[in-house]
Structure 1
């Protein structure tokens, strides 16, 4: 037997390709049946089934025609139906792995077809082997190239749809926050968020990149009592979140911080109060933003979870910061200074007022002796220039503002 040159496989392969092209409709139908049996995602989706048949037909015709005419595989381009098939897979939410499985199984079908039929076309076993090897390798290189092209189209289509969904969601969120009338059913469908029941808005933010804010926001939403969180990015360092709740809100936000996982030690969280319906979606969000403003005014170093209900009075008083400073100065006198002694005396006086006059309760809250509390309260009254029983409501408010905002409202502070 004569030794065959490598070119013999290519020459015989062209004849095989020509033979297969003559039965293209039957070959495509057979490949479709092969795929349907192995890929359940095709199921009863007639449109996807039709696109799969079109992709089988166009890819088979393309690869066999290229072999027949000796065209280098690097010239292959993805057929229109193959690209449309990739877009359809993306639109239906199938994974890219499922989409690429069509091509892996298609190559498997092509290889099996050749292995079972090559002897029908070529009698000489040596030539048959060379021809099979040539066609199988050509088919592999074709699939490798085309699968990369359709995967890129799949990703592009997924990005287009996700960008469109994000844009639609952002538009609905903007309309709700602007107080505009919206179609509730459409809004809920676009956002994937219920507007019935009570709404809680919250904000999570950091000062440096590298934190999975969306993941932490979803944890916060779950701990607040929501089964699903709507999370919208507010630039690279912050996210806005909402949950719709039907039960009770967790009473201890401080305890939530211990239950969060991830880089929570660098994340600030501001939480609005629960309010009903679409109007509550806006109101609670605005409260969360106002809470964030107060936290940032306080220059708080350690991140924490802060509820609007805990700083609502401070927020109201500090809307005009200059007026808040004047109010604090008028109520506290020399007690409104940014030094350690004044801070300790303010803390003692605030603790006593919080305890409704109980020095024992105040001492327990501060972790110091009752007599120490008494001494600090007396010195605080001396600095103030009048007893603590004078204008108790205003005094309590001024002390609370100092406690939350610190240097932002005190005299003699270099941070102001």
Structure 2
């Protein structure tokens, strides 16, 4: 490039910058109207409109002053109003792409004004073109740098707000679970969750990473009958959820496993019973916690969907695990061993009791012949040391506990 032509272009650029700076206020007003016409998100938001005008004015003044005084682009810093504009966009829930449109369209406006100014002030086409290229390159680099700075501030503000919202939500959940007095209207607003309906608490957990547990828990909430469920992380491998449902019908988990996504095979689910209101929020959650405890005591490896109503008796008996083992031993005698034969005999005895004494129904349940059920039942009575009709309620309860908790309440296998 001809040094003389370059010097003339730089001088012309400084002149254009000085000219535009003399009317930077009017230029900022024009830029604002240009943006308002193209970005509907500004709408009737007076504060956002004011911040947009401030950002237009401060950015125009900054870039034009840098050109006029020959300041290197590396010295660019985001104006205070531009950073505040980014924070306002984040607080209003606008996407970062919408925020950056302000800068892309602002650059477009700036380019048009450069072209108009050069046409009016520079007679030599070669100098005008050289000046335009230089100013446009500088403007692009300025916008590129400012865009990065305001995007970083937008993300930081979003993180601050999300962390604050999470902390506030966690505090409300803690207060509800601690049975503290809370303002229900405020709690519902903070949680985004209705507390006036019947509440179902549930817990989803996994043994390893790799599952979107929060997304999974929301799908569980929908299957339980809630349009929107509250989901709160409980460490990296578990989430707590609440579904608010209407009507008095008790949701059934039958078939839910087939409706859940494929990753359900890696997730344990414990579900409490429906209970009304804020007190029900706590009660159902505690039931889900107790259900999870029983599932983990059972030593099951394969993930399951378990309702509190299905293990309520087992939970009550096993609150004191040593007492539960003593109870099982007292009711089952030698039948309380963790051996395959005893396991089959206990299953036969339990099936007969569940069927109210019907051997045929028990046989269908177990998928074996009626005579086989009878033989196992008789052997079970021998090991127990008394007929099944003696203390039948206690016997049924002990068999249920064994069926659910297995080795946790049984004696070790006998040496054969």
1:219 aligns with 2:219: yes
Q: Which residue is 2:358 aligned to?
A: 358
Aligned pairs (5 A) from 1:51-130: 51-130=51-130
SS state at 2:324 partner? helix
Contact 2:196 2:278 in 1 (8 A): yes
SS state at 1:179 partner? coil
Q: Which digits, 9 at most, give the CA deviation of each residue in 1:195-228, with x for residues without a partner?
A: 1010000001111112100011000000000111
Q: Which digits, 9 at most, give the CA deviation of each residue in 1:139-193, with x for residues without a partner?
A: 0100000010000000110111111111111110000000000000000000001
| Deviation larger for 37-46 or 362-371 | 362-371
What is the CA distance between 1:11 and its match in structure 2? 2.6
In 2: Cα distance, 1:363 partner to 1:269 partner: 30
Contact 2:201 2:285 in 1 (8 A): yes
In 1: Cα distance, 2:262 partner to 2:179 partner: 35
TM-score (norm 1): 0.97
Contact 1:168 1:190 in 2 (8 A): yes
| Deviation larger for 191-200 or 363-372 | 363-372
In 2: Cα distance, 1:36 partner to 1:413 partner: 79
Contact 2:224 2:251 in 1 (8 A): no
Aligned pairs (5 A) from 1:10-409: 10-247=10-247, 251-409=251-409
Contact 2:16 2:117 in 1 (8 A): no
SS state at 1:389 partner? coil
Contact 1:224 1:250 in 2 (8 A): no
SS state at 2:390 partner? coil
Q: CA distance change for structure 1 residues 389 and 15 in 2, over 3 Å: closer, same or farther?
A: same
What is the CA distance between 1:254 and its match in structure 2? 4.0
Q: What is the total number of aligned residue pairs between the two structures?
A: 413
Unmatched segments (≥5 aa) in structure 1: none
Q: Which digits, 9 at most, give the CA deviation of each residue in 1:312-337, with x for residues without a partner?
A: 00000000000000000000011110
What is the CA distance between 1:12 and its match in structure 2? 1.7
Q: Which digits, 9 at most, give the CA deviation of each residue in 1:40-60, with x for residues without a partner?
A: 000000000000000000000
Q: CA distance change for structure 1 residues 96 and 310 in 2, over 3 Å: closer, same or farther?
A: same
What is the CA distance between 1:9 and its match in structure 2? 2.7
In 2: Cα distance, 1:329 partner to 1:100 partner: 71
SS state at 1:263 partner? helix
What is the CA distance between 1:413 and its match in structure 2? 5.4
What is the CA distance between 1:114 and its match in structure 2? 1.6
Unmatched segments (≥5 aa) in structure 2: none
SS state at 2:37 partner? helix
In 1: Cα distance, 2:200 partner to 2:40 partner: 41
TM-score (norm 2): 0.97
Contact 1:407 1:413 in 2 (8 A): no
In 2: Cα distance, 1:409 partner to 1:7 partner: 92
What is the CA distance between 1:251 and its match in structure 2? 4.5
In 2: Cα distance, 1:254 partner to 1:346 partner: 26
In 2: Cα distance, 1:43 partner to 1:233 partner: 36
What is the CA distance between 1:7 and its match in structure 2? 4.3
Q: CA distance change for structure 1 residues 7 and 354 in 2, over 3 Å: closer, same or farther?
A: farther
Aligned Cα RMSD in Å? Answer: 1.3
SS state at 2:203 partner? strand
In 1: Cα distance, 2:148 partner to 2:249 partner: 49
SS state at 2:41 partner? coil
| Deviation larger for 101-110 or 253-262 | 253-262
In 2: Cα distance, 1:7 partner to 1:373 partner: 104
Contact 2:5 2:127 in 1 (8 A): no
SS state at 1:100 partner? helix
In 2: Cα distance, 1:361 partner to 1:220 partner: 33
